[in-house]
Amino acid sequence: MTLQARNIQACIGNTKILHGINFTGHAGEITAIVGPNGSGKSTLLKAITDEVDFTGHVTLNGQDTATMKPWQLAALRGVLPQAATLAFPFTVIEVVRMGLLSGISGARADVPERALNAVGLDGYGGRFYQELSGGEQQRAQLARVLCQVWHPVVNDAPRWLLLDEPVASLDIGHQLLVMHLIRDYASRGGGVVAVMHDLNLSAMFADRMAIILEGNILASGPPNKVMQDDVLSKAYGCNLRVNTPPALGQSFVLPHLAIHS
């Protein structure tokens, strides 16, 4: 089962942002979308979730999303936007429970508390969302999304987590917590598509990576194939050197190895 985006083109105003992107995410895997600021990562995710006008086709588990009803989509995929603001003073548990409203009915009543526990926010349920730190708010939003698609597989159909920078404002410990959490979700059969900034975390946890540059896919495939000097240097506009120690079996790039051109 897959999430497929075919020939996605999107404009914002008169500016073309995406130039015919083809992208596939696989159930049971984490697919990381990386690339420099402004390259179109969020716009691609918004096209996949129908939040921007686009041309092309998106299929979820083989079904064209244009033919699916909102409740069918809500039952199959949870979406974490890059920035979520709330206008009202909701408590954390109220925010998380919103995930239950858009998910399939019959979810167990203890799921919101379990979702808070999963993101390391035990005991935060009664606090006001607006009084949390940025990283805590981000994890509360992730708990809401998890709540919506708590079971990674329902009636043999994988469900999907579509996450825009889920670890961007988290400390390294909580980054690892969240990456392990989504790894576990994928291992249990769900699909995860995550826009990521951190190349090393992406290489460590993702099964596939896709680099977007100026609205096109520059490279995609397994992390060790995408984490190449020439690919990363072109994408980020500086000389980058990738290391892949055989004992580690995983590629990484460090900022101090970058030489600005």
Instruction: Give the residues lining the site for ligand ADP (CB under 6 A).
Output: 12-13, 17, 35, 37-43
| CB nearer to Mg ion: pick between 42 and 65 | 42
According to DSSP, residue 56 is labeled E
Residue 190 partner contact from Mg ion, ligand ADP, none using kind-dependent CB cut-offs of 5 to 8 Å: none
Residue 43 partner contact from ligand ADP, Mg ion, none using kind-dependent CB cut-offs of 5 to 8 Å: ligand ADP
Residue 49 partner contact from Mg ion, ligand ADP, none using kind-dependent CB cut-offs of 5 to 8 Å: none
Answer for which of 4, 39, 42, 137 binds Mg ion (CB under 5 A) is 42
The 8 Å CB, 24+ separation contacts for 8-14 are 8/44, 8/47, 8/48, 8/54, 8/55, 8/56, 8/58, 9/54, 9/55, 9/56, 10/40, 10/43, 10/44, 10/46, 10/47, 10/52, 10/53, 10/54, 10/55, 11/53, 12/43, 12/52
Sign of the alpha-carbon dihedral angle for 149, 198, 23, 244: negative
Residue 97 partner contact from ligand ADP, Mg ion, none using kind-dependent CB cut-offs of 5 to 8 Å: none
Residue 17 partner contact from ligand ADP, Mg ion, none using kind-dependent CB cut-offs of 5 to 8 Å: ligand ADP
- Three-class secondary structure of residue 91 per DSSP: strand
- The nearest distance, CB 163 to Mg ion, in angstroms, is 11
| CB nearer to ligand ADP: pick between 41 and 144 | 41
CA atoms within 13 A on the CB side of 110: 3
Binding region for Mg ion (CB under 5 A) out of 53-61, 75-83, 125-133, 199-207: 75-83
Residue 103 partner contact from Mg ion, ligand ADP, none using kind-dependent CB cut-offs of 5 to 8 Å: none
39 binds Mg ion (CB under 5 A): no
| CB nearer to ligand ADP: pick between 16 and 151 | 16
d(CA 162, CA 157): 16
H/E element, 252: none
Among 78, 64, 79, which residue's Cα sits nearest to residue 5? Answer: 64
| CB nearer to ligand ADP: pick between 40 and 190 | 40
d(CA 190, CA 217): 24
- The nearest distance, CB 14 to ligand ADP, in angstroms, is 10
| CB nearer to ligand ADP: pick between 14 and 67 | 14
- The nearest distance, CB 36 to ligand ADP, in angstroms, is 7
Which residue's Cβ lies closest to Mg ion? 42
Which residue ranges make up the site for Mg ion (CB under 5 A)? 41-42, 82
